[in-house]
Chain A
Amino acid sequence: MSDHSPHFLSREATVAGPGFSRWLVPPAAIAVHMCIGEVYGFSVFNEPLSRLLGGAAHDPTRDWTIPQIGWVYSIALVLLGLSAAVFGKWVERSGPRKVMVASATCFCSGLVLAGIGVQQHWLWLVYLGYGVIGGIGLGLGYIAPVSTLMKWFPDRPGMATGMAIMGFGGGALIGAPLGVTLMSFFKTATDPGVAATFFTMAGLYAAWMIFGAWLVRVPSADWKPEGWQPAATGSKAGPGKSVSVDTAWKTPQFWLLWIVLCMNVSAGIGILGQASLMCQDLFGVSAAVGGVFAGLFSLFNMGGRFLWSSVSDLTGRRTVFAIYFLLGALLYSLVPWTQKIGSRSLFVVVTALIISMYGGGFATIPAYLRDLFGTYQVGAIHGRLITAWSFAAIVGPQLINYISTAKKKAGVPAAEAYNSTLYLMCGLLLIGLIANLLVRPVHPKHHLASDS
């Protein structure tokens, strides 16, 4: 008996043996993404966190305000992008299992710290726990399975990453109702039950994420799908020659894709942040019904990630992004018309389609990177590209709010103020379209020597 078996967390220990089914890897990725996607449902804690001391009602002299609490979510998203960019190379070196465990440790300990912060009413600890440490866990977990999935599914890379990233989109579908259910279970007359909910979620998510880490495997170096030949995939986008992350981010292709992702996210946020209110203002439905919109969004956000990225395996990445931008611009310009004819159902369908393409953009971009830069360090390159998301998540809403506010101050009616925002979204999508059309294969001088 040899005593030199590799450490459980090492990359060597995750190399799959003969006969391992590659269809066991997507559930591992989904398990992790489904947990970290909980961040999308953070808004369910906003209101309870704003009345921790006041009991049933918000006490403006002692309780935290909603904008103060909103920073928790913003910090987490910024740290998601930064950690994905900074730790990308480590992720590639260490293998998916170690990174998934690191992600689980950060994300769940962040929840525990946030819970202590809530108990003690220390907002800085909630920022540090959920925002900073939890945010690092988000970034690590987000990019951990990406390159592994693309190595397992060279014949369908879009679909493979789409499945994982679909889990992230679906995180709110589970996290938000779970948070509400746990809070109603733990609440008392004086405590909304947020701290106990954070502690419980930390335990549940840790178990789920460690399950994903245990399940994940990387293929052996000489593995390929049975009967598959790179030239015979039928895909219009084959894998590019390998480019290292340090070289990739100095190429124009990287920055064109950065613009593509940034524009797609910025435009999507325009609808995500305002559609519930738009539904109320344009069609006069109640706030409760408008709020239902958020659930529908999550559904299409999730479904679009899987469907559109799978379509990209057939059409090629550039074509599918051209569809996002052209069809997206058309749909945005249709929104005012749906209000004009008074069709609420059509409004819902149009905005749901827009959201599906917003999610689709996230899921398709890793495969686009793999087409251009190969699979060698695609996870690390993806990590650096995620900064476009963080940038858009911060700048996009500010831009939209600025325009809406300026219009309102000028006395423009609500419907027209919305129209200006929607036409701005069309403009952003057209910038994204131009960047997408300018993408060309990477110059051979950037390819790694081992490829030639």
Chain B
Amino acid sequence: MQGFIKTLFGDKRTLAVTALSVLVAVAVLHSPASLAVGMVLPLCLLAGAAYLARH
């Protein structure tokens, strides 16, 4: 069961990185700079991957 949950959600850091990235994307999408969200989400996720690589 633990393996199943870990496969679906990853660890706390992975969850935090994904949740924060999506939240930032939602915020940008509802701002005047909404067109930039196509770059913002991938950049957030790449930054998240960099963080996960070091932790």
Does A associate with B in a complex?
no
Residues of chain B touching chain A, judged by Cβ–Cβ distance below 8 Å, are none
